[in-house]
């Protein structure tokens, strides 16, 4: 009997152990399935950047050649780099719904603009491109869905042009990437110009523009113009441009983050634009101002930026700017302040100025009496430097007897 009981207990112990092991394996299986799904998603993203180029453009003596990335054969060659690059881009699979890549390797002078269409990965990471004299056009024009312009050095040679930007994204363009180790300089107009098509209801939207140095352009480093929206601008370094480091002009719902704007006319210019988030940028030593909000720009969030050493204003909110813009916690610009200020009444003085320390005239304020002698009928006005409290009847004479608690914000 004892042996049978021991056997039953042992079998129950084994059953509990097996159940515990089963539960542990099930948990591991769920974890591995989750990791598999995560990796599958990552590989799907990586798959959008083709590992092999359909064409590789390189120089061989006086000729520029287009090498087929699949066969290794030279499919096209010539002496004009623009012609060969454009031939390769135009020779990708028609009407494709997958991304194909053209890689440009070496230094080239472009005699005409390069046109990039959807589902194209233009790899310029090993390229140095210069626009020839008097082309008077953009270096690269792009439109369509799911294109990428990756890396490279783009010298737009603006001193020898009458017009043109380094990169123009126009008409209908969606879900695109530009940058990732790119340098743009010397454009006659803008470094990167995003421009939709109002007449035909075509938007430039949902782009990621990141990791780019943009210098010495006649216009803005980046211009997001009308019918261009919903972009992420990240890790841009824009300096020495004649316009803004970045200008959002009738361009809504963008995120500008972790960028550096220096020695431009304006660091960040928000013109007639709404619902933009400007966060964690530096806008220093720009000639006019670090950040400008103007012309019916409403409901923008300007938080956590650094603005120092700018010429006329750190942050300029023009009189024609819109409403409900949130400006908070920006280094170099005091947008809100509060405190307790103590005066000694003399029985005659009715006016008590409180320095508010803000970067401009506050739009709203509150003042409360924190002592009996500070009670009484009073009114408050504000200017660029002070809240001015005026009593109908002078507070009585006393030592530190007029105590006011105040708060103000621009």
Contact 297, 326 (CB under 8 A): no
Q: Does residue 18 sit within a domain?
A: no
Number of domains present in the structure of the chain: 2
> Coil, helix or strand for 7?
helix
Q: Does residue 135 sit within a domain?
A: yes
Strand residues in 282-401 grouped as ranges (E): 282-284, 289-294, 301-303, 313-317, 326-328, 336-343, 351-355, 364-369, 378-382, 386-391
Confidence of residue 358 (pLDDT cuts 50, 70, 90): confident
Are 246 and 355 in the same domain?
no
Are 312 and 354 in the same domain?
no
- Find the domain containing 402 and state its range: 336-409
Q: Does residue 295 sit within a domain?
A: yes
Sign of CA dihedral 346, 347, 353, 355: positive
The Cβ of residue 270 has, within 10 Å, a number of other Cβ atoms equal to 30
Q: State the Cα–Cα distance between residues 170 and 330, nearest whole angstrom.
A: 34
pLDDT at 7: 38
Are 377 and 279 in the same domain?
no
Q: Are strands 364-369 and 402-409 parallel, antiparallel or unpaired?
A: antiparallel
Mean pLDDT for 49-59 is: 86
Are 311 and 355 in the same domain?
no
pLDDT at 93 over 80: yes
Mean pLDDT for 306-323 is: 92
Q: Does residue 46 sit within a domain?
A: no
Q: With b meaning 16 or more CB within 10 Å and e meaning fewer, what string describes 354-386?
A: bebebbbebeebebebebebbeeebebebeeeb
Contact 308, 286 (CB under 8 A): no
Q: Does residue 115 sit within a domain?
A: yes
Last residue of one domain, picked from the residues 294, 328, 362: 328
Per-residue pLDDT reduced to its tens digit, 4-19:
444 344 455 454 554 6
pLDDT at 357: 85
Quick one: 171 exposed, middle or buried, by C-beta within 10 A (0-12, 13-18, 19+)?
Answer: middle
Q: What percent of the chain has pLDDT over 90?
A: 79
Per-residue pLDDT reduced to its tens digit, 231-270:
999 999 999 999 999 999 999 999 999 999 999 999 999 9
Are 306 and 352 in the same domain?
no
Q: Does residue 98 sit within a domain?
A: yes
For residue 321, which of 271, 279, 364, 277 has the smallest C-alpha distance? 271
CATH of the domain at 61: 2.160.20.10
The DSSP annotation for 145-206 comes to ES-EEEEEEEE--GGG-SS--SEEEEEEEES-EEEEEEEEE--SS-SEEEE-BTTTTB-EES
What torsion do the CA atoms of 290, 294, 297, 303 make, to the nearest 10 degrees? 20
Are 61 and 125 in the same domain?
yes
pLDDT at 34 over 80: no
| Residues making up the chain, counted from first to last | 410
Residue that the structure tokens 């120089």 belong to:
59
pLDDT at 88 over 90: yes
Residue that the structure tokens 């881009």 belong to:
89
Last residue of one domain, picked from the residues 284, 308, 328: 328
With DSSP H G I counted as helix, E B as strand and the rest as coil, what are the percentages for the chain, rounded to 5? 15, 45, 40
Are 323 and 402 in the same domain?
no
Per-residue pLDDT reduced to its tens digit, 202-232:
899 999 999 999 999 999 999 999 999 999 9
Residue that the structure tokens 């087929």 belong to:
68
**Rounded to 5°, angle at Cα 78 from 77 and 82:** 105
Mean pLDDT for 27-48 is: 50
Are 315 and 274 in the same domain?
yes
Q: What is the pTM of this model?
A: 0.80
Are 109 and 218 in the same domain?
yes
pLDDT at 35: 52
- 54 token code pair: 């359909």
Are 243 and 348 in the same domain?
no
Q: Does residue 71 sit within a domain?
A: yes
Confidence of residue 89 (pLDDT cuts 50, 70, 90): very high
Are 342 and 311 in the same domain?
no
Are 152 and 204 in the same domain?
yes
Q: Does residue 120 sit within a domain?
A: yes
Last residue of one domain, picked from the residues 308, 328, 348: 328
Confidence of residue 28 (pLDDT cuts 50, 70, 90): low
pLDDT at 3: 45
Q: What is the DSSP letter of 99?
A: -
pLDDT at 10: 42
* 359 or 3, higher pLDDT: 359
Contact 166, 140 (CB under 8 A): yes
pLDDT at 43: 39
């Amino acid at each position: 009997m004892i042996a049978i009981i021991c056997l039953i207990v042992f079998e129950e112990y084994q059953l509990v152990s097996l159940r515990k092991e089963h539960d542990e394996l099930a948990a591991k299986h769920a974890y591995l399935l989750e990791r598999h799904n995560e990796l599958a998603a990552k590989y799907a993203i990586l798959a959008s950047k083709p590992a092999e180029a359909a064409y590789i453009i390189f120089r061989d003596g006086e000729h520029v050649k287009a090498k087929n990335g699949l066969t290794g054969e030279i499919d096209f060659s010539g002496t004009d780099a623009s012609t060969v690059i454009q031939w390769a881009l135009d020779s990708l699979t028609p009407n494709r719904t997958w991304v194909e890549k053209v890689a440009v390797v070496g230094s080239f002078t472009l005699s005409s603009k390069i046109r990039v269409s959807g589902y194209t990965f233009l790899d310029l990471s090993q390229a140095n491109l210069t626009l020839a004299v008097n082309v008077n056009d953009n270096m690269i024009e792009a439109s369509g869905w799911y294109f990428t312009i990756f890396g490279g050095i783009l010298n737009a040679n603006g001193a020898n042009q009458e017009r043109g930007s380094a990169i123009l994204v126009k008409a209908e363009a969606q879900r695109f990437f530009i940058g990732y180790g790119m340098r743009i300089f010397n454009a006659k107009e803008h470094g990167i110009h995003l421009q939709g098509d109002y007449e035909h209801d075509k938007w430039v939207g949902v782009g990621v523009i990141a990791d780019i140095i943009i210098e010495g352009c006649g216009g803005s480093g980046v211009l997001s113009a009308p019918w261009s929206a919903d972009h992420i601008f990240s890790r841009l370094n824009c300096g020495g441009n004649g316009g803004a480091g970045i200008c959002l002009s009738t361009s809504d719902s963008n995120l500008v983050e972790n960028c550096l704007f220096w020695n431009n006319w304006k660091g960040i210019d928000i013109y007639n634009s709404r619902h933009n988030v400007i966060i964690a940028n530096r806008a220093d030593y720009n000639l006019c101002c670090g950040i400008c909000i103007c012309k019916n720009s409403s409901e923008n969030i300007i938080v956590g930026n650094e603005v120092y050493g700018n010429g006329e204003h750190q942050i300029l909110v023009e009189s024609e700017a819109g409403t409900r813009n949130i400006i908070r916690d920006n280094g170099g610009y005091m947008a809100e302040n509060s405190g307790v200020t103590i005066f000694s009444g003399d029985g005659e003085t009715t006016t008590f100025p409180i320095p508010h320390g803000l970067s401009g005239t506050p739009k709203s304020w509150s003042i409360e009496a924190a002592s009996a002698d500070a009670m009484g009928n009073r009114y408050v006005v504000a200017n660029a430097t002070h809240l001015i409290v005026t009593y109908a009847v002078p507070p009585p004479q006393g030592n530190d007897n007029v105590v006011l608690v105040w708060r103000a914000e621009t």
